[in-house]
Each structure stands twice: as C-alpha cells, then as structure tokens.
Structure 1
Amino acid sequence: MKHFFKVFIVFFIIFTMIFGTSLYLIIAKESNELVQVPLPDDTSTSPPPEKDEKINILLLGVDSLNGDKKGVRTDTMMVLSMNPETNKASILSIPRDTRVKIRGRKGYDKINAAHAYGGVDLSLKAVKDLLGIPIHHYIKLDYQAVYKTVDDVGGVEVYVPMNMKYYDPYATPPLRINLKKGRQVLDGDKAMQFLRFRKGYANQDLGRIDAQQQFMEALAKKVLSASSVFRIKDYIDTFNMYVDTDMSVSEMGSLALKASKIDIDSIEKQTVPGVPMTINGIAYYKPNVEEINKLVQKLYYNGEEKDNTKIAVLNGSGKSGVASSVSEKLTDKGFKPNLVGNADDFNNPKTIIYYYDKKEEAQKIRKILGKGKLEVDKKKLNEENMDIIVLIGKDI
C-alpha cells in the first residue's frame, strides 16, 4: 500500500496542478467564483527561488481514514525538486522511521512524528535540518483523496486476478474486502479494497505491486481522458477538501506550467541513504549523513561540489531563538551550519563574521544576513575547528 501511495501522491499532485488549476482557470476565466486556497499565517518555507534555481516542494501524505485528523504522523515524506532550466525533476523519499533530532524535543525521534508534534511547520524544519536544502513550498495530501478521485472519474476499470476476500476488524479502519475475479469497474470503496488486498498473489508483493500499477495506469488514462474536462470542478473540490498547501492559485498555475514540461517517467527517484536499526526495542532508520550530502549534491546542485565550509552560528545577543533563525536563513541559501548554539557572552552589540581563508564565503554570508563586520581571526577559528564563525550581536 505504501508503494501505491508514493506513486499516487506524485501523480495526484502533478495532475491537479496541471489540469485542476490551469484548465479550471481557463474555463472560469479567473472569475471571483474560484475558491482561493487559504494560506497559513506562519510556515517555515524558504524564500522564493531565484529565476534559474531549482524549486523544492515537500510532499506529505497523511492517513486519516479512521477520521482522526489531529496529531497524525506522516505516512509519506518526499521532496519533489523541479529544474525549470532542464525540465527535469527528482523525488527524494524520506523513510518515515528516519531517526532525527526534532526542534523543541529532547533526544532523537522518528521524523514522521514532527507532524504530530507541530504540524507542517515542524515537518518543514525537520526536513530542512536533515537535508540542508531550501524548501520553497509544501503540499499535504490526505489519502481519502483516493476514494474521492476514483468516484470523481466515475470509477476505474481493472482486471481483478482472483477472488479477493478478507476481513480484519482490528485494522485502522477495519478491513473488509470482497471482490470477484474478472474485469470490472471499481468505485472508490472497491478500489481501496483492491489496493489493500495483500494475500493470494503467487509472487507475493511483486504481484500486488503489479496490480497497483495496473490500477494507476487505468486511473491515469481515465483522469487524463478528454471527458475529464467536464469533471475539473470535481477535482478542484477534491483538492480543496483533501490537499493543504502554502501556494496560492496563481502560484500553482505557474508551477503547473513548469510541471507540464516534465516527463513523469523520467523523474529520478531516490531514497535517503541509511540502515534499519533497533534501539530499546524501537525500530528506526539511521540516516547516513555522509551519503546524504553526496546525494544532495547530485540532486540539488547538479552534481557540483556543494560548499562544504564549516560554519558555526553562535548567539551572542541574548535573544531567544535568534541562532536558529540565522541558521535557517543560511541553510536556505546553501550554507548549512555545522554548529548552532550560544556564545560565551550575551552582550555583543554588533554581529561579527570571523574568517581566515574563506573571505568570499564570509562576504556571501554577510550579504544574506544584511549585516555583520568581517574580521580575520585564525586562532579563534582553529579553537572551534571552523572555517567561519557567525557571532550574532544585538543588531540582529
């Protein structure tokens, strides 16, 4: 089921942006009747990308099929990156059990818990901390969209390879499967039965994946058919009901034009490098930081060597949270600090950027922050084993 949802969330999002937004805007002629997506008051998305910069979008999938929408952990976390220059895209999947430190929490936790603790905002921060890349937008999809979309298109015709019968009252929600073998049109409820059926395939999971791919192909053909133009309003309603995003309609329209030029079959798919591990009886996925850095360079920096300047951000102002804020600004521009903490003295009136042989990088950091006195101090850097130290003063 997880494999299907990973495919579905990408398909649904790209389809909705391209057809649901662009075509509906054309038909409605941008009338005032178009429902505007409500924007959140405060999220940790990065500043808009530069003209030729890749656009990184955090895709979140949540399963509230049991009706619980509060404190829900994410089932799927992926970063979709689109390059407007090359019309290429990549998807980096983040295993839900990835062991990370979540801001404001003690010790380590699973990254999928960030949403339960602090919603999309904390999920954004957790992903940015893990990968060290800017995240420009987010889209969160509730899996109930599967039911609604299948019903919106009038059902999906597939071949059911066997009689499927199964009942599990303890599943969430309870699992009731009762499908007959043969070609038939499945509505939303029967489609979910078909997709959730596990046992009975001769080659086990491979057979199930084949069935899910058959379903996706049938759904895609139905959704992308000429008759779909008459159902665009239904897709928009589904989007408004089950999808949460920080993007306005005009932003989605602009992004849709970029996405429409991308060949979905050519999207590069990767998973955060790491290994499964068990700690105190709890299953985690331990990320490999070194391999993550290599993959990030490949996916987000076109294979070029990402700047590996070692940076410390120290709060010398006494203001709470200022070091994290500065660190996030730097991360958004490709400088991921190695150390974020407090300085020995909280009475520094001015911000100072210490450097030795990294003058160009120090100047870039000053430009990002909009202030900071550049000062050469090799001894101080050696003591901290850093290339650059940003000592935050009361002027930030």
Structure 2
Amino acid sequence: MKTFLKIFIVSLVFFIVAFFLGTQAYIKENNSNLEENINNNGLKVPNTNIQDTSEYLTLAEAFEKSPRINFLILGMEDVRSDTIILASANPQSKKVNLISIPRDTYIHRKGYDRGEQRKINSVYHDHGIEGLEEILSYILVDIPIHHYIILDYEGVKEMVDLVGGVEVNVPFHMKYSDPHAKPPLSIDIPKGKQVLDGKRALEFIRYRKGYIDGDLGRIKAQQQFLKSFGSKAASNLFSLIPKAFKYVDTDMGLLQAASYGKIFSGVKDEDISFLTLPGIDEFRKIEGKNFSYYIYDEEGIIEKLEDIYNVKKQGNL
C-alpha cells in the first residue's frame, strides 16, 4: 500500500494540473463570455500581484501576504483518507511544492482515544473535510488551506479509461491476489509492452512484489506509468475535463478551476517538487496494543515551510 500511496499522490497532481489547464481550454472553447466572468465574478483567488522575490520576516506574515495558493488533496480508500497531500502553488514562479502527510501521522483528539483513532487518516470519517482541514492546518503551523480536491480508487480507474488507457512496459509477469485488501486484489498482468485500461492500471500501480532491484524497480515502474499517463492526459484535455469533473469532489466550481488553470498554465513537470512531512516512525502502546505512528517534527516543519515561503533566516536579518 505504501507503493500505491506514493504513485497515487503523483497521479493526483498530474491529473489536477491537467484538470485546471483543460478546464480553462474547455471554457474558452465553449463560451467566450465565461472568460470575462472569470475576471469579474469575484472568485476566491488569493492576491497574485506580489512579486516572487518577496521575502518575509515570519511564517505568519508569509501566510498573510504570500500569493501562494494551497490545496488539500485527498485520495480516499473507503471512509479513510489513504492519501493526504498539501499542494502549495506559487502563481509567479509556477512552482508547486507538495507535502505528503503520512496516513499514520499521530494526532490525539479529545474523546478519540483508541489507537486507530489517533491516526490522521481517521479524521475525515469523524469530522469531514472541514475537520481534516483544521487539523492539517494545525500540524502545519496554521498554514491557510484555500481549496480541497478529493478522488477515490474508482476515480483513478476512470481517469485512465477517460484518456483511453495507459501504455506501459510491464517488466515481468505480475501475479498476486489478496482478498483482504481494500479494494480486493486479483492481479494477473503478463510481461511486455501493452496498453492498460483503468482496472489493470490500478492493479499495476498497486503491485509491489518481485522487482529485482526492490524499491528502485518499483520507482522506475511508477515513473513510467506517470509519464505515459501525463502524456495521454495532456493530449486529451478538451474531452477529459467535462467528463472527469464528476469524479472529483471539490469546493471549486468550473469557473474557479478555470481561473487557476489560467494562472498556472506555465507549470511544467520539473516545477513540481515533493517532500514528506518531517518526522519519524514510532511504536506506541495504547490500551495494551502496539500501534505504529508517524510522529511529526514541528521544528522540521517550520524549517521546510520557511524555505517554501521564502522566510528570512535569523542570521540574514
């Protein structure tokens, strides 16, 4: 599942970039009056007039004045958030920084004392998107979250089908079954170059056994899938967007998404950087049972956010 978590995060990012750009193209193609509405409709778009070279004295000042737009991206597995990522995008530099939040991140909420309830992936079930936004903002030292985007397993499968499948070179015969996985796994993909439909693409990116070079082999397979998926999505934006919208749960409407598509039209693959929430893995005993948690490091988080938001270091004041 950890392998799927990583690939799913990147897939979401590629899809969302394509989603914004394609929505912009779709609106321009279908109704020229909507382009004017984007600019005159009072949409919730943070200030983008500040130059990218701005430096800030504190994170609080940066959060208030920076043009950055922050998106909470969720990949759902049943009622739990299997993937949690904070995407922070700068409209001047076209840089996108993605902070992966491990699903086992420890967070103890009053009245939720069981071991499994102390993991961040249980928050959405108990408190919905608003509760998860509040807790994530707390962990990330009060960072503002402007929008959310939610996609589930079915959405990933449908995304691949919408672009007509994804071509990959399967390095070996992938065969594995696990009836207890969610959703259940029954993988049987032959070796060789082939176009995978949504169902098989989902199986391909969830497969994690048999690579000769271990994690490196899985990473290569993931990168191959992403490159192929990104290429297909980019060449099918016009037809993809109006169909894909129903698979995405978001607080943005079509005009709002189009406005961001206009702002971030220059984003390239190399403009997207990844990091994991600073912290360490740790076992803790709750009610006599051992649970594996990810304990976040507040000082490390502050340091990373200061880098992202261009906050001056004390020695440079």
Larger deviation, residues 176-185 vs 48-57: 48-57
Q: CA deviation at 1:104?
A: 7.0
Larger deviation, residues 92-101 vs 104-113: 104-113
TM-score by length of 1: 0.65
Q: Give the alignment's Cα RMSD to 1 decimal.
A: 2.3
Q: What is the identity, as a one-letter code, of the residue corresponding to 2:239? A: R
For the structure 1 residues 148 and 11, does the alpha-carbon distance in structure 2 shift closer, same or farther, using more than 3 Å as the test? same
Q: CA deviation at 1:143?
A: 2.6
1:82 pairs with 2:89: yes
Counterpart in the other structure of 2:311: 303
Q: Structure 2 unaligned runs (5+)?
A: 35-43, 51-66
Counterpart in the other structure of 2:54: none
Aligned partner of 2:245 among 202, 219, 239 = 239
Aligned partner of 2:25 among 16, 23, 34 = 23
SS in 2 for 1:99: coil
Is the 1:103–1:126 contact (alpha carbons within 8 Å) kept by the matching residues of 2? no
Counterpart in the other structure of 1:148: 158
Q: CA deviation at 1:269?
A: 1.7
SS in 1 for 2:136: helix
Aligned partner of 1:292 among 296, 301, 308 = 301
For the structure 1 residues 105 and 166, does the alpha-carbon distance in structure 2 shift closer, same or farther, using more than 3 Å as the test? closer
For the structure 1 residues 292 and 26, does the alpha-carbon distance in structure 2 shift closer, same or farther, using more than 3 Å as the test? same
1:182 pairs with 2:188: no
Overall identity of the aligned pairs, in %? 40
For the structure 1 residues 161 and 134, does the alpha-carbon distance in structure 2 shift closer, same or farther, using more than 3 Å as the test? same
Distance 1:171 1:101 in 2: 27
SS in 2 for 1:100: coil
Distance 1:87 1:194 in 2: 31
What is the correspondence of 1:252-331 to structure 2 with a 5 Å cutoff?
A: 252-280=257-285, 281-300=290-309, 302-304=310-312
For the structure 1 residues 298 and 11, does the alpha-carbon distance in structure 2 shift closer, same or farther, using more than 3 Å as the test? same
Give per-residue Cα distances to partners, 1:287-319, cap 9 Å, x unaligned. 11112112222213x13259xxxxxxxxxxxxx
For the structure 1 residues 258 and 102, does the alpha-carbon distance in structure 2 shift closer, same or farther, using more than 3 Å as the test? farther
Q: CA deviation at 1:173?
A: 2.0
For the structure 1 residues 207 and 114, does the alpha-carbon distance in structure 2 shift closer, same or farther, using more than 3 Å as the test? same
Distance 2:238 2:84 in 1: 32
What is the correspondence of 1:35-184 to structure 2 with a 5 Å cutoff?
A: 49-51=46-48, 52=50, 53-64=67-78, 72-102=79-109, 105=112, 109-131=118-140, 132-184=142-194
Q: CA deviation at 1:130?
A: 0.9
Q: CA deviation at 1:30?
A: 6.3
Aligned partner of 2:17 among 14, 18, 21 = 14
Q: CA deviation at 1:110?
A: 1.5
Distance 2:311 2:238 in 1: 43
Aligned partner of 2:226 among 213, 216, 220 = 216
Distance 2:6 2:98 in 1: 14
Distance 2:211 2:192 in 1: 15
Higher RCO (CA 8 Å, separation ≥ 6 residues): 2
Q: CA deviation at 1:248?
A: 2.1
Q: CA deviation at 1:50?
A: 3.2
Q: What is the identity, as a one-letter code, of the residue corresponding to 2:312? A: E
SS in 2 for 1:195: helix
TM-score by length of 2: 0.81
For the structure 1 residues 50 and 102, does the alpha-carbon distance in structure 2 shift closer, same or farther, using more than 3 Å as the test? farther
For the structure 1 residues 268 and 179, does the alpha-carbon distance in structure 2 shift closer, same or farther, using more than 3 Å as the test? closer
Q: CA deviation at 1:253?
A: 0.9
Q: Which has the higher helix share?
A: 2
Distance 1:193 1:170 in 2: 15
Q: CA deviation at 1:105?
A: 4.6
For the structure 1 residues 30 and 282, does the alpha-carbon distance in structure 2 shift closer, same or farther, using more than 3 Å as the test? farther
Give per-residue Cα distances to partners, 1:320-340, cap 9 Å, x unaligned. xxxxxxxxxxxxxxxxxxxxx
Q: What is the identity, as a one-letter code, of the residue corresponding to 1:86? A: S
For the structure 1 residues 305 and 140, does the alpha-carbon distance in structure 2 shift closer, same or farther, using more than 3 Å as the test? farther
Give per-residue Cα distances to partners, 1:152-190, cap 9 Å, x unaligned. 122222211212222222222221111221211111112
Q: What is the identity, as a one-letter code, of the residue corresponding to 2:160? A: V
Structure (1 or 2) with the larger CA radius of gyration:
1
Q: CA deviation at 1:262?
A: 2.0
